[in-house]
A = this chain, B = another copy of it.
């Protein structure tokens, strides 16, 4: 099916802000560009829409082919339209953000290894295009979202401990949260369930393992910053 509008339309791309959490650090996945423009600069992964392709499919394609990721949580963020955002010409970007558990994906393998890397969000390099602005909006959205909806679980293992969840929140929100009040709010929301089990073979202490309550859709909580 061909576009019907009279003039030449702008290029249309998706850009992805992929968040990962490990070792108590929030990180973003960046690609090192091998071509102009912005050669050798780090940028957000992205791709142009292919004919008939939907945004979400383009995102999945990027995550799959470039990064080897499947079944990733993602959400549309915002659409960017600055005329000068791409020096090659007019290009619209529809930005999505994604949450992945780095332990479950194998970025380090493959011939892309040198081109792809996780960066701690506090130590980002200078990014190409308008990707820094996109990243900032994504971070803002993530911070806002986890205070009232349990998206944070997407960044952890299926089973996780309360201290792990607590540290995740403190890390993303960049603040300290009282451990006991945090537990109460999360548990009151009924979004997570105590399995009663403990992690085995752990060198450390053995706190309870919790899991996300997928059946629940409407409850709410509010973590104040």
Q: Which residues of B contact A94 (CB under 8 A)?
A: 79, 81
Q: Find residues 58-80 in chain A having any chain B CB closer than 8 Å to their own CB.
A: 76, 78-79
* Chain A 1-33 interface 0/1 with B at a Cβ cutoff of 8 Å (1 = within): 111110111111000000000000000000000
Distance in angstroms between the alpha carbons of A1 and B89 in the assembled complex: 6
Distance in angstroms between the alpha carbons of A94 and B79 in the assembled complex: 8
B81 touches A79 (CB 8 A): no
Distance in angstroms between the alpha carbons of A76 and B81 in the assembled complex: 11
Total interface residues on A, using CB and 8 Å?
30
Q: Which residues of B contact A51 (CB under 8 A)?
A: 7-8, 90
Q: Which residues of B contact A90 (CB under 8 A)?
A: 1-3, 51-52
For A86, give the chain B residue with the smallest CB separation: B4
A217 within 8 A of partner (CB): no
**Chain A contact residues, majority secondary structure:** loop
Which among B1, B7, B54, B89 is the interface contact of A4 at CB below 8 angstroms? B89
Q: Find residues 83-97 in chain A having any chain B CB closer than 8 Å to their own CB.
A: 83, 88-92, 94
B2 touches A8 (CB 8 A): yes
Distance in angstroms between the alpha carbons of A81 and B78 in the assembled complex: 13
A55 within 8 A of partner (CB): yes
For A50, give the chain B residue with the smallest CB separation: B7
CB proximity of A172 to chain B, nearest CB, Å: 20
Q: Which residues of B contact A52 (CB under 8 A)?
A: 83, 90
Q: Which residues of B contact A49 (CB under 8 A)?
A: 9-10
B82 touches A54 (CB 8 A): yes
Which among B10, B54, B76, B83 is the interface contact of A9 at CB below 8 angstroms? B10
A48 within 8 A of partner (CB): yes
A-B contact pairs, 18 of them (CB 8 A): A1-B90, A3-B9, A3-B10, A3-B90, A3-B91, A5-B11, A5-B48, A5-B91, A7-B51, A8-B51, A9-B12, A9-B49, A10-B12, A10-B49, A12-B92, A54-B82, A54-B83, A76-B79
- Spell out A's residues near B (CB within 8 Å): 1-5, 7-12, 48-52, 54-55, 76, 78-79, 81-83, 88-92, 94
